[in-house]
Amino acid sequence: MNQFELTSLIKQKALELGFDSVGIARAEFLENEAPRLENWLAKGYHDKMKYMENHFDKRLDPRKLVPGAKSVVVVMHNYYPKEKQPENTYQIAKYAYGEDYHYVLKRKLYQLVDFIREQAGDIAFRVFTDSAPVLEREWARRAGLGWIGKNSLLLQPGKGSFYFIAEIITDLELAYDTPTLFDRCGSCTRCVDACPTQAILPDRQIDASRCISYLTIELRDEILPAEFKSKWNDWIFGCDICQDVCPWNRFSLPHTEPAFDPPPDLLQMTRRDWEELTKPAFKRLFKKSAVMRTGYKGLMRNIGFLRKEK
CA distance 65 to 128: 11
Q: Which residues pair with 126 in a beta bridge?
A: 169
CA distance 154 to 15: 19
At residue 2, the pLDDT reads 94
User: Span 285-293, mean pLDDT?
Assistant: 95
CA distance 305 to 310: 10
Is residue 20 part of the annotated active site? The answer reads no
User: Span 94-103, mean pLDDT?
Assistant: 97
CA distance 249 to 163: 11
CA distance 106 to 101: 8
At residue 308, the pLDDT reads 64
- CA 306 → CA 52, 65, 222, 231, distances in Å? 29, 41, 14, 10
Rounded (5°) CA angle 81-158-9:
90
Q: pLDDT (tens digit, 9 = 90+) per residue, 3-42?
A: 999 999 999 999 999 999 999 999 999 999 999 999 999 9
Q: pLDDT (tens digit, 9 = 90+) per residue, 203-252?
A: 899 999 999 999 999 999 999 999 998 898 899 999 999 999 999 999 99
User: What domains lie within the chain, and their CATH numbers?
Assistant: 3-81+91-170 (3.40.109), 190-254+262-307 (no CATH)
CA distance 34 to 212: 26
Give percent of the chain above pLDDT 90. Answer: 94
At residue 309, the pLDDT reads 54
Please tell me which residue in 130, 171, 261, 273 is annotated as part of the active site: 130
CA distance 228 to 38: 27
Mean pLDDT of the chain: 96
**Lowest-confidence pick of 47-56, 211-220, 290-299:** 47-56
User: Span 124-134, mean pLDDT?
Assistant: 92
Give percent of the chain above pLDDT 70. Answer: 99
